[in-house]
Amino acid sequence: MDMQRNNRIGIASALGASLFFTINDTVIKFLSGAYALHQVVLIRSLVAMGILLAIVVPLTGGYRQLRTGRLHLHLLRGGFVVFANLTFFLGLAALPLAETTAIFFVAPLVLTVFSVVFLGEYVGPHRWGAVVLGMIGVLVIVRPGSDSFQLAALLPLAAAFGYAALHIMTRRIGTTDGAMAMVFYIQLVFIVVSTGFGLVFGQGALAQDTSTSLDFLTRPWGHVPVADLPFFLIIGAVSFSGGFLVSLAYKLCEAGLAA
């Protein structure tokens, strides 16, 4: 009974996270024409961290829930999510939102395979059939070898593998640490990495405009007008909310099911 309840909560959490991440992706696509990726991510993560530390953690058990004896695994998980975000949003800058999202939908399929290989979870024939059909669908969208093939299409595909690896780590860490701790360390990694990118590219000396993706990654930081602040507040809030829900989902139920 407890397993069934956990599965229901996990699936509901995964669906809620998908909604929040869709909002996040849409707003970042909108902001990608004016700001550098690392600037967007840094501001988003600072907002998310502020919500976490100033409001949510004090109201849900205090700061002791952020303690961990598995810092190295949190950092590795953070590396996977940075890779997934970097490749996804670079692809999003170069491709239409619908196409980027459609290619990224291979992530649950990859995660299903990873859950068998790395976690030993059981996947029935119906799920394997869905994996095969999904892979065929991605090949149809990406069209490798055709004249219409774009290298940028490989970016959301790479992001899907990073996302799958991220949630394999979520399952491992979730045996000892809570969702709040996982959100905290993810945002901390985002802040450190995006600050590093900002120090390298923020002045614009290394800016490259040979492609939309490179421009989004290397352009200098820009002034944020008051009119744009609500967008950053929105992505900060949905980043925290989506991160918490997806961590909870993969903590409570099998990776193949939550996918």
Max mean pLDDT among 101-115, 144-158, 222-236 falls in 222-236
Contact 111, 163 (CB under 8 A): yes
181: phi then psi, degrees, rounded to nearest 5: -65, -40
Q: Is the pLDDT of residue 28 over 50?
A: yes
- pLDDT tens digits for 208-247? 777 788 888 889 999 999 999 999 999 999 999 999 999 9
Percent of the chain scoring above 70 in pLDDT = 95
Q: Specify the amino acid at residue 159.
A: A
Give CA–CA dist 28/39, Å, rounded.
Answer: 11
Q: Directed axis angle between helix 229-252 and helix 2-31, to 10°?
A: 150
Selected residue with higher pLDDT from 74 and 105:
74
Give CA–CA dist 74/189, Å, rounded.
Answer: 9
- pLDDT tens digits for 50-98? 999 999 999 998 999 999 999 999 999 999 999 998 999 888 888 888 8
Q: Is the pLDDT of residue 145 over 70?
A: no
Q: Is the pLDDT of residue 1 over 60?
A: no
Model pTM score: 0.85
Torsion of CA 180, 186, 190, 192, to 10 degrees: 90
